[in-house]
């Protein structure tokens, strides 16, 4: 891997502490960093290099997936880490940073390869890029890369403005927009599941699929992020980015090669084929919800508007469900239902593909059978489950059984690790490309408008439930229902039946 200087804006912040440093440390342990690697952390705080390094060491101890128990490994790793005070608004601070970087590049005869990672509030992204350009830091004889955290804009217009400001100094191929869902092993596996399994490949289309459900349910509430979340809501925090990215990864036609260009092209095609919401009206396709007080894991929790930092009159969505249509050859007429929410009954990110019942189902028997389901669990436990129907040898009835394979996640790199390693190699396959981001905002914008004008009812749901009842009706109108956790988990009885029938779990 090329030698590089990694400049981290926001190095004293929460994300750096919990995700970025642990990820880079694990890459170091796996020898996935270049020999000559230097990270310069930036923040406004007055910290000596030693003080900063000891903060980084603490973050490794608290958050690394592999314990930072080996003191000598931690010490060696910290040798690669430096700190500079910098206020992103002060051009003169960039000049000092430039001297520091240039001095090192010259001393060790290193190429001018620079990563600029923006782990700061989104309002600062534009200023940083302008100052990188003004100070000459982004003019390099080697390569340069800009890593940008979410949210990428607040709506379509602000995202376009932000993108135009990045484009002043960076080409699209130099911009790496992080969406950590794209770093999750099962999201990366979606494409592989299809292309490496001819059986699934054959079924992956409207002829056989009745509907697709994509869920990201969380038990956590707004936590300490009210200031951000109350201006964002579920639609901006999860739906516009993570949920639509999962939809693209699932619904895209297989690219010939898994390259950034080809995957990006196929994902864009999905977004272009998404039926604009205006056709059926936001109110018939979208359900907005907000949690009220309730119980989670036997513990009483507050309602959203009682959370610290939340406006007591807030109408912010903590839940959103929507019905989407992809009007292309493969998916037309298949409804895609997407939902995400906080303070729901369980934590799970999951895709369920429900297959159609054959038309002649009743020709042999009057018994109704459960639909075949392919369930892809993205997290917290990754796995794939296939629901089939079998005759129960004990009572002669046809009953659903589940064939399940869990993905062993021990030693599997975290999403940030995978994505940072890809970025260092210059591979943006699993990053959000501008076309996709713009089309996602474009699709979501009517929802933002409708929410802002209060044109949609704000349904409440009790913390610990499966969300507002109105979201059930969204599917009932089409003759379907949500597949919740409890319906997907094999019961003891079903397991016994499957064991008797020789099916392995």
Ligand X SMILES: NC(=O)C1=CN([C@@H]2O[C@H](COP(=O)(O)OP(=O)(O)OC[C@H]3O[C@@H](n4cnc5c(N)ncnc54)[C@H](OP(=O)(O)O)[C@@H]3O)[C@@H](O)[C@H]2O)C=CC1
Per the annotation, where are the binding residues?
10-17, 44, 150, 180, 184, 218, 237, 342, 347
Task: Give which of 249, 261, 250, 265 is closest to 426, Cα–Cα.
Answer: 261
Residues 140-199 that bind ligand X (CB under 6 A): 149-150
Q: Does 88 bind ligand X (CB under 6 A)?
A: yes
Nearer to ligand X, 227 or 367 (CB): 227
What H or E segment, with its residue span, contains residue 140?
A: none
H-type helices in 64-154, by residue range? 71-78, 91-107, 125-135
Q: Which does 121 bind (CB under 5 to 8 A by kind): ligand X, ligand LXAUTJHC, none?
A: ligand X
Q: Tell the residue number behind the tokens 């969406």, with chain if given.
A: 179
CA distance 204 to 330: 8
Residue among 242, 404, 433, 484 flagged as catalytic? 242
Q: Is 409 in the site for ligand LXAUTJHC (CB under 6 A)?
A: no
- Taking the complex as a whole, how short is the minimal distance between the CB of residue 456 and ligand X, in angstroms? 26
The burial class, CB within 10 Å (0-12 / 13-18 / 19+), for 393 is exposed
Question: Which residues inside 196-225 make contact with ligand LXAUTJHC, applying CB under 6 A?
Answer: 216, 218
Residue of 394, 416, 407 whose CA lies nearest to 178: 416
Residue 217 or residue 322: which is nearer to ligand LXAUTJHC going by CB?
217
Residue 383 makes contact with ligand X by CB under 6 A: no
| Residue 163 near residue 358, CB atoms below 8 Å | no
Report, in Å, the least distance between residue 504 CB and ligand X.
38
CB of 421 to ligand LXAUTJHC, least distance (A): 18
Rounded distance between C-alpha atoms, residue 132 and residue 42, angstroms: 14
| Min dist. Cβ of residue 159 to ligand LXAUTJHC (A) | 16
Using the minimum distance from each CB to ligand LXAUTJHC, give the nearer residue, 216 or 447.
216
User: Chain centroid to CA 410: how far?
Assistant: 20
Annotation: binding site for substrate: 180, 184, 218, 237, 342, 347
The Cα–Cα gap between 334 and 5 comes to 48
User: At a CB cut-off of 8 Å and minimum separation 6, what does 479 contact?
Assistant: none
* Footprint (CB under 6 A) of ligand X, residues 8-47: 10-16, 43-45
Taking the least distance from each CB to ligand X, the nearer of 62 and 394 is: 62
184 token code pair: 């999750």
Taking CA 426 as the corner, what is the angle to CA 422 and CA 432, rounded to the nearest 5 degrees? Answer: 70
Cβ 355 vs Cβ 387: under 8 Å: no
Name which of ligand X, ligand LXAUTJHC, none residue 45 binds, using a CB cut-off of 5 to 8 Å depending on partner kind.
ligand X
For the bound state, the minimum distance from the C-beta of residue 263 to ligand X, rounded and expressed in Å, comes to: 22
Q: Are 179 and 241 in contact (CB under 8 A)?
A: yes
Q: From CA 314, how far away is CA 316, in angstroms rounded?
A: 5
Q: Which of 423, 503, 463 is nearest to 301 (CA)?
A: 463
Helix (H, G, I), strand (E, B) or coil at 138: coil
Kindly tell me which of 186 and 238 has the beta carbon lying closer to ligand LXAUTJHC: 238
Residue 290-329 contact track with ligand LXAUTJHC, rule CB under 6 A, x = bound: ----------------------------------------
Interface with ligand LXAUTJHC: number of residues (CB under 6 A): 5
Write out the binding residues for ligand X, residues 100-139 only, by CB under 6 A: 119-122
Within 13 Å of residue 435, how many CA atoms lie on the same side as its CB?
15
Say whether 242 is catalytic. yes
Among 64, 349, 372, 385, binds ligand LXAUTJHC (CB under 6 A): 349
Contacts of 486 (CB under 8 A, 6+ apart): none
Q: Does 237 bind ligand LXAUTJHC (CB under 6 A)?
A: yes
By beta-carbon proximity to ligand X, the closer residue of 232 and 369 is 232
Give φ, ψ of 445 to 5 degrees.
Answer: -55, -45
Place of tokens 């003759």: 479
- Does position 149 interact with ligand LXAUTJHC (CB under 6 A)? The reply is no
Q: Supply the minimum distance, in Å, between the C-beta of residue 54 and ligand LXAUTJHC.
A: 28
Residue with Cβ nearer ligand LXAUTJHC (451 or 480): 451
Catalytic residues: 242
What is the contact surface with ligand LXAUTJHC in residues (CB under 6 A)?
A: 216, 218, 237-238, 349
What is the contact surface with ligand X in residues (CB under 6 A)?
A: 10-16, 43-45, 86-89, 119-122, 149-150
């Amino acid at each position: 891997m090329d030698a590089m200087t990694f400049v981290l804006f926001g190095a004293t912040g929460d994300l750096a502490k919990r995700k970025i440093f642990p990820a880079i440390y694990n890459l170091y342990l796996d020898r996935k960093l270049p020999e000559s690697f230097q990270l310069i952390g930036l923040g406004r705080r007055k910290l000596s290099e030693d003080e900063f390094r000891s903060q980084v060491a603490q973050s490794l101890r608290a958050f690394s997936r592999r314990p930072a128990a080996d003191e000598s490994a931690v010490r060696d790793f910290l040798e690669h880490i430096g700190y500079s005070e910098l206020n992103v608004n002060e051009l003169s601070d960039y000049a000092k940073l430039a001297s520091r970087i240039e001095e090192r590049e010259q001393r060790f005869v290193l190429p001018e390869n620079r990563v600029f990672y923006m782990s700061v509030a989104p309002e600062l992204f534009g200023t940083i890029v302008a100052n990188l350009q003004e100070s000459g830091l982004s003019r390099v004889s080697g390569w340069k890369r800009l890593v940008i955290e979410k949210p990428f804009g607040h709506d379509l217009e602000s995202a376009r403005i932000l993108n135009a400001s990045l484009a002043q100094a960076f080409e699209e191929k130099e911009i790496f927009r992080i969406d950590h869902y794209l770093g999750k092993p099962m999201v990366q596996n979606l494409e592989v599941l299809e292309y490496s399994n001819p059986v699934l490949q054959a079924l992956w289309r409207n002829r056989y699929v009745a509907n697709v459900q994509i869920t990201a349910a969380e038990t956590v509430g707004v936590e300490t992020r009210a200031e951000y979340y109350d201006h964002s809501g579920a639609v901006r925090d999860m739906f516009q980015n993570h949920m639509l990215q999962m939809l693209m990864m699932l619904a895209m036609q297989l690219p010939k090669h898994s390259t950034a260009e080809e995957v990006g092209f196929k994902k864009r095609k999905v977004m272009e084929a998404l039926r604009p919401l205006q056709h059926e009206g936001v109110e018939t396709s979208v359900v907005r919800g907000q949690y009220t007080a309730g119980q989670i894991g036997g513990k009483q929790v507050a309602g959203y508007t009682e959370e610290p930092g939340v406006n007591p009159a807030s109408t912010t969505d903590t839940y959103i469900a929507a019905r989407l249509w992809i009007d292309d050859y493969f998916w037309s007429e298949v409804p895609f239902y997407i939902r995400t929410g906080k303070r729901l009954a369980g934590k799970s990110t999951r895709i369920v593909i429900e297959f159609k019942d054959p038309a002649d189902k009743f020709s042999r028997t009057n018994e109704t059978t459960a639909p075949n389901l392919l369930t892809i669990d993205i997290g917290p436990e990754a796995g794939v489950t296939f629901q089939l129907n079998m005759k129960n040898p004990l009572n002669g009835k046809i009953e659903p059984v589940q064939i399940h394979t869990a993905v062993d996640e021990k030693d599997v790199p975290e999403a940030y690790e995978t994505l940072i390693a890809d970025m260092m190699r210059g591979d943006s396959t699993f990053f959000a490309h501008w076309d996709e981001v713009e089309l996602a905002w474009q699709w979501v914008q009517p929802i933002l408008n409708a929410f802002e004008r209060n044109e949609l009812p704000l349904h409440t749901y009790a913390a610990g439930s499966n969300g507002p009842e109105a979201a059930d009706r969204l599917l009932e109108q089409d003759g379907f229902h949500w597949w919740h956790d409890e319906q997907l988990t094999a019961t003891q009885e079903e397991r016994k039946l499957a064991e008797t029938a020789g099916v392995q779990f």
